[in-house]
């Protein structure tokens, strides 16, 4: 099946032109178990060759490994052909343990310095705190990024996993290109307040977790066990009875997908693409086969009846388990 040309949109009212689907690179640095650098690099090249131009990373993914990997992969590409979205602020211990968040202006300038070097670029397209720092006013963090924009090291301010009040406070300091936040068929919490506020302010959405960490796919069976270094080993939605119950929703979606000649993952992506042109999807694919499957969703059109059937098959209020473990949920300003 031929993949159609990927549509590009402006990210929010003030952001860059990006492909409707971007590549999330986190899984290329061990968050879902071992990854292969050669295959990851080939996937990055294939994504850019397909017309996808948005690559999302974090300076703490693999303690810098992810940025180094991306930097090598894009080294021979024209800089303007790649839109780099970088999260900062996450602190990691040598053993990989999470050490909290530091969004102080002095810290983010330091983080940026290392990101520029690892990525091998002169500027970051979208720079965003990965989480809200409870000890640093968002106005201070956004103001510091605005100064970096003035200096030419950053092009746009982004946010991640913050709530409506924080979005308003940030936007009062500097235009916010986009909010990166989890949004999928079974994670629709942003629809109540956060999405309307973003649309009011002209802030785009980059939706991650569109496949709910792979749950909305054909990858798992009841009783699946995950390696200790796999994020899903600690995710409530993948534990015991929760996984069994959630896979019942996936089986219901699989029947609809089969009628469309699609996979469950493609159906979930196609659904998300109908939610508005101001919503850009960041899909994590660390292998070319998964990238090909992702892009195949662009061939799927869904009418009103099909959308209703999909939402009835997997109601968001029927999913079992929170999207993060309790300690991580407590860190999310977007969930307050």
3-state DSSP of 209-268: CCCCCCCCCCCCCCCCCCCCCEHHHHCHHHCHHHHHHHHHHHHHHHHHHHHHCCCHHHHH
User: Tens of pLDDT along 20-34?
Assistant: 999 999 999 977 778
d(CA 142, CA 159) in angstroms, rounded, equals 9
d(CA 321, CA 215) in angstroms, rounded, equals 12
Comparing CA positions, the residue from 144, 140, 138 lying closest to residue 159 is 138
- SS3 call for 284: strand
* CB hemisphere CA count around 264 (13 angstroms): 23
Specify if 153 maps to a domain: yes
- Once rounded to an integer, what is the mean pLDDT over residues 100-124? 98
**For the chain, what percent of residues have pLDDT higher than 90?**
83
Quick one: pLDDT at residue 283?
97
- Residue ranges making up the domain that contains 65: 8-213+274-300
d(CA 324, CA 334) in angstroms, rounded, equals 13
Specify if 191 maps to a domain: yes
Specify if 230 maps to a domain: no
Specify if 113 maps to a domain: yes
Domain count for the chain: 1
d(CA 256, CA 4) in angstroms, rounded, equals 22
Of these residues, 61, 127, 153, 183, which one is catalytic? 61
Quick one: pLDDT at residue 213?
87
Specify if 21 maps to a domain: yes
The mean of the pLDDT values for the chain is: 94
Q: Does residue 61 have an active-site annotation?
A: yes
List, as one string, the DSSP characters of 42-77. HHHHHHHHHT--EEEEETTGGGGHHHHHHHHHHTTS
CATH number of 54's domain: 3.20.20.100
Quick one: pLDDT at residue 95?
86
Specify if 241 maps to a domain: no
Specify if 259 maps to a domain: no
Specify if 164 maps to a domain: yes
User: Tens of pLDDT along 222-239?
Assistant: 767 787 777 787 888 988
User: Tens of pLDDT along 132-186?
Assistant: 999 999 999 999 999 999 999 999 999 999 999 999 999 999 999 999 999 999 9
d(CA 112, CA 103) in angstroms, rounded, equals 12
């Amino acid at each position: 099946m031929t993949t159609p040309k990927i549509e590009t949109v402006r990210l929010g009212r003030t952001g860059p032109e990006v492909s409707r689907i971007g590549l999330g690179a986190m899984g290329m640095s061990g968050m879902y178990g071992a990854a292969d650098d050669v295959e990851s690099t080939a996937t990055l090249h294939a994504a850019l060759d397909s017309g996808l131009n948005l690559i999302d990373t974090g300076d703490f993914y693999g303690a810098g490994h992810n940025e180094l990997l991306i930097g090598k992969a894009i080294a021979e590409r024209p800089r303007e052909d790649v839109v780099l979205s970088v999260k900062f602020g996450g602190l990691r211990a040598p053993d990989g343990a999470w050490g909290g968040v530091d969004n102080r202006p002095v810290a983010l300038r330091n983080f940026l310095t290392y990101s520029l070097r690892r990525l091998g670029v002169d500027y970051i397209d979208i720079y965003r705190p990965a989480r809200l720092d409870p000890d640093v006013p968002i106005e201070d963090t956004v103001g510091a990024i605005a100064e970096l924009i003035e200096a030419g090291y950053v092009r746009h301010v982004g946010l991640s996993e913050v709530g409506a009040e924080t979005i308003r406070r940030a936007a009062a300091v500097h235009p916010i290109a986009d909010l990166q936040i989890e949004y999928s068929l079974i994670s629709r919490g942003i629809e109540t307040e956060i999405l309307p506020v973003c649309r009011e302010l002209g802030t785009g959405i980059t939706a991650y977790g569109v496949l709910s960490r792979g749950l909305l796919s054909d990858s798992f069976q009841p009783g699946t066990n995950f390696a200790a270094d796999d994020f899903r080993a600690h995710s409530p939605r993948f534990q015991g009875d929760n996984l069994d119950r959630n896979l019942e929703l996936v089986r219901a979606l699989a029947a609809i997908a089969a009628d469309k000649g699609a996979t469950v993952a493609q159906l979930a992506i196609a659904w998300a693409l109908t939610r508005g042109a101001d919503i850009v999807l960041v899909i994590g694919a660390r292998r070319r086969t998964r990238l090909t499957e992702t892009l195949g969703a662009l061939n799927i059109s869904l009418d009103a009846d099909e959308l209703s059937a999909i939402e009835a098959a997997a109601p968001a209020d029927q999913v079992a388990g929170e999207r993060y473990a309790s300690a991580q949920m407590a860190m999310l300003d977007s969930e307050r």
